[in-house]
Amino acid sequence: MGSTYTTNGGIEKIGLGEQAGAWGTTTNNNFDIIDRLINGVGSISLSSSGNAHDLTTSDGSLSDGMFRVITFTNASEACTITIKDESSEKLYFIRNTSGQTLTFKQGSSGDVVTLANNKGAIIFADGGGSTNGNVVDLTALFTTSQAIDNVVIGGTTPAAITGTTITATTSILPDAEGGADIGSTSAEFGDIYIADDKKIKFGSDQDVLMEFDADDTGTLLISNGDVTLADDKKLFFGTGKDVSFEYDEDGTDTVLLDRSSGAELITIADDKKIIFGTNKDVSLEYDEDGTDSLLVTGNVTFADGTTDVDIASHDGTNGLKLGGDLVTASATELNIMDGVTRSTAQINSARDGTVTEVSTGQGLTGTVTSSGSVSMKNSWMSTSSAVFSISGTSFTNTRSYPVFISGRSNAGGGSFTFSVNNGSGGTGTIDQRDGDSGTNDPFAFILPVGGSISGSSFTGVGIELRPG
């Protein structure tokens, strides 16, 4: 009876009465095959395989399919490795350093295992035949069905961990302070879920905290430190970014509140305050439940410069109030006080109808009261040119002051009538005859500047009514 071979390893089973004197050679070869099947480590280059390679176990001779551990190298493209023969059961430790993705199969319709470059796996071929042979990744079964307990993954050489869900009972810690990142510039995390009242803490000393403060304010709360928004970066409000808030360093150099459309930027509810100062020194509110007006609590200072305060509605009915009383005077009326230099006492005296003093040079002297008197200063005629003579039939006051005229006619008897003109269109006549047939008739007039008299021939004297 001739030799036969094991199904999975191709080990020669010497037939009864066969190979007399040659058993040693066959047996040694079988031990080599067994050694490779148990501990063999081999490397297979796929440089000339293209997209397909057969992993074959040859009966009675060493072959690549007998290695326990196989490293695949140098693939020019993605390659399918077919485990032969299809009826053999095989267990392999595979390492893929080929630079390409490898697919392992044992049948045209069975399960396959796909292994990416620089990955490893323990695979099992069930020998199901050319049609239904299956290849299974035992490594995947280990990680999905078995718990890894009390094991350090990576050890002294950190390694990547790929999974769907990592459940931590206490903490996920870096190897040192600041020693590990969550995500990267090319592999960002998706949503992050933080429970109510749990904090994200920033800084080695946890200087700034951020949390959803569900048990108190019901808002996103940032505490224990400042928050800085860089120049020209906006804080947007609204799903459509309707309103933005920024320090406009490259434009207005101010805090800028802007809205993409609409008129109102900020609405503050009734009776809610904008409070200024560390000690809340000044507040601003619409006092709906009180005065029903904009209420400023605290002192207000308008800066020097060109700042105006314009009360457009000030019309005697609405407008400026002082102590609750409406100021009925107009701006024009108030401006009359501009340039006044009198003392409060002097203004009050004038208001009360009592003039306590008349200034020198105004033509009057003395005290004016309800029981007092007014006198003309005796220096009003001190100028020599204030007195002058007149004669003829007419006189016009061309001087700078009103004049007092006193005189007589030069001829007796008959009519002695004067026409008087005040210089502004007002005229009158008077007959100065005294009723006798004397030679002279007297007369007296006060003529304003430009005024005149005319009539019969007369002689007289004039006196300017000038202040002293």
Which residue, chain included where needed, has tokens 């057969």?
A: 54
Task: Identify the domain boundary among 137, 169, 201.
Answer: 169
Would you state the pLDDT for residue 456?
A: 78
> Does residue 213 lie within any of the structural domains?
no
Token readout for 302 is: 């308008």
Q: Give domain status of residue 337, yes or no.
A: no
Q: Which of 124, 153, 169 is the last residue of a domain?
A: 169
Total tally of structural domains belonging to the chain: 2
Strands (E) in 7-68, as ranges, are 12-13, 41-45, 52-55
Give the pLDDT confidence score for residue 27 in this predicted structure: 83
Minimal CA–CA distance to 15: which of 31, 27, 1, 36? Answer: 1
pLDDT (0 to 100) of residue 146: 55
Question: Does 223 fall in a domain?
Answer: no
> What is the DSSP track for 186-227?
SS--------TT-EEEETTTT-EEEEEETTTTSEEEEESS--
Coil/strand/helix, residue 37: helix
- CATH number for the domain spanning 421: value is 2.60.120
Does any domain span residue 302? no
- 388: closest CA among 411, 376, 406? 406
Q: What is the pTM of this model?
A: 0.38
Q: What is the pLDDT along the chain (468 residues), one digit of tens a residue?
A: 577 877 776 677 777 767 767 777 888 888 888 888 888 899 999 999 999 999 998 888 889 998 999 999 999 999 999 998 888 999 999 999 999 999 999 989 899 999 999 999 999 999 999 899 999 999 887 755 555 666 666 666 666 777 778 888 888 888 788 888 888 899 898 899 999 999 998 888 888 999 999 999 999 999 888 888 899 998 888 888 888 888 999 988 898 888 877 767 678 889 899 999 899 889 999 999 988 888 899 888 888 778 888 888 888 888 888 888 898 888 888 888 787 887 777 777 665 655 555 555 545 555 555 555 555 555 655 667 788 899 888 889 898 889 999 988 876 656 667 777 777 777 888 777 766 666 677 888 888 888 888 877 889 999 988 765
Establish if 349 belongs to a structural domain.
no
Q: Would you list the DSSP string of 313-380?
A: T-SSSSS-EETTEE--S-HHHHHTTTT----HHHHHHHHHT-B----TTSSEES-B-TT---EE-TTT
211 domain-assigned: no
447: exposed, middle or buried (Cβ count in 10 Å: 0-12, 13-18, 19+): buried
Residue 33 lies in a domain: yes
The pLDDT of residue 169 is: 82
- Interacting residues of 385 by C-beta distance below 8 A, sequence separation 6+: 464
Of 90, 95, 101, which is closest to residue 71 (Cα–Cα)? Answer: 95
Q: Which residue range is the domain that position 134 belongs to? A: 1-169
In a domain, 389, yes or no: yes
Write down which residue in 153, 169, 185 finishes a domain. Answer: 169
